[in-house]
């Protein structure tokens, strides 16, 4: 049983269409059918029920699918390990980042690329829940998010920084010089909230006893960077992580008495797969950039 045959079998099992699978694999349908027949012959069992209109997995085909996927993953992991051992850092490093951390990435990315020119970076900006799905699917190598409320046995995480939910505003706002605010203080001004799905909004909804109807919510936006741009020259206030102002010198983050829930920024990766050396190299640079 060859890995190539398993790859072909998985393609057919996922599409349930020989023609579509052949196009995906860049081979002819005849070659694909021949390889599947050889695999079935070696296993002594039919893997697919074929008719003129449809293709279905047999019981044996359904049993083989998770095993075949594990074998292919093990093969890929083996190749990555050998590549790491034999070469300088190379290949592609796939990073998932929530928008809340987007402003922390440019400098470590530049430093990393200067140090490891053989590595190509693919960076995805998504919500935390979308990034968790990508991590579980193996389409990113690690993610940088606020720590989610749900734990996964297959995901390890490491805390990298702490922040808290705050009132973020232009530094010439009437409340900008206050050390602490209350909900009553900010209720007199227009409020901007991140859309549902963003971690700071989840924390706001889960851990504060504030009814949003008590606030004058003017805007809800799913892009935190746009929220920050909207604060300049206005008296509006955004409810965001205190991290939001780190690279925005004309904005300030003031704690709110009712919003004292801490936010843990963390790196997460799958503990069931090989952790590339490039992951460790990038994270070392990223940690240093936060000091």
Torsion angles phi and psi, residue 138, rounded to 5: 80, 20
Residue 87: predicted pLDDT: 57
3-state helix, strand, coil in the chain (%, to 5): 45, 25, 30
SS3 55: strand
Residue 10: predicted pLDDT: 92
Residue 202: predicted pLDDT: 75
Residue 277: predicted pLDDT: 85
- Tens-of-pLDDT digits for all 291 residues of the chain? 678 888 899 999 999 999 999 998 888 888 899 999 999 999 999 999 988 788 999 999 999 999 998 888 887 777 766 665 555 577 899 999 988 788 889 999 999 999 889 899 999 998 888 999 999 999 999 999 988 777 888 999 999 888 888 999 999 999 999 999 998 899 999 999 988 767 777 777 775 666 667 788 999 987 777 888 999 999 999 998 888 887 788 999 999 988 776 788 899 999 988 788 899 999 999 988 886
- How far apart, in whole angstroms, are the C-alpha atoms of residue 103 and residue 125? 11
pTM over 0.85: no
**Six-digit token string for 261:** 């829930």
Contact call for residues 116 and 281 (beta carbons, < 8 A): yes
Q: At what angle do helices 29-43 and 18-25 cross, to 10 degrees?
A: 100
Residue 86: predicted pLDDT: 53
Torsion angles phi and psi, residue 180, rounded to 5: -150, 140
């Amino acid at each position: 049983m060859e890995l190539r045959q398993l790859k072909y079998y998985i393609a057919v099992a996922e599409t349930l269409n020989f023609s579509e699978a052949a196009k995906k694999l860049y081979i002819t349908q005849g070659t694909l059918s021949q390889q599947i027949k050889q695999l079935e012959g070696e296993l002594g069992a039919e893997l697919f029920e074929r008719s003129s209109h449809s293709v279905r997995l047999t019981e044996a085909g359904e049993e083989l699918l998770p095993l075949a996927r594990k074998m292919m993953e093990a093969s890929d992991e083996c190749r990555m390990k050998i590549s790491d051992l034999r070469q300088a850092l190379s290949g592609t490093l796939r990073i998932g980042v929530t928008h809340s951390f987007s402003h922390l990435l440019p400098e470590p990315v530049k430093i990393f690329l200067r140090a490891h020119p053989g590595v190509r970076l693919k960076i995805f900006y998504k919500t935390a829940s979308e990034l968790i799905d990508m991590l579980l699917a193996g389409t990113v190598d690690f993610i940088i998010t606020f720590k989610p409320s749900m734990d996964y046995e297959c995901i390890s995480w490491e805390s990298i920084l702490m922040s808290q939910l705050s009132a973020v505003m232009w530094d010439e706002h009437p409340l900008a010089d206050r050390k602490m605010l209350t909900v009553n203080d900010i209720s007199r001004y227009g409020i901007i909230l991140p859309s549902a799905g963003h971690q700071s909004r989840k924390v706001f909804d889960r851990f504060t006893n504030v009814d949003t109807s008590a606030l004058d919510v003017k805007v809800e936006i799913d892009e935190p960077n746009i929220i920050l741009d909207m604060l300049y020259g206005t008296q509006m206030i955004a409810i965001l992580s205190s991290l939001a102002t780190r690279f925005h010198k004309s904005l300030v983050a003031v704690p709110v008495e009712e919003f004292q829930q801490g936010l843990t920024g963390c790196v997460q990766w799958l503990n069931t797969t090989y952790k590339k050396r490039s992951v460790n190299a990038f994270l070392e640079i990223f940690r240093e950039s936060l000091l």
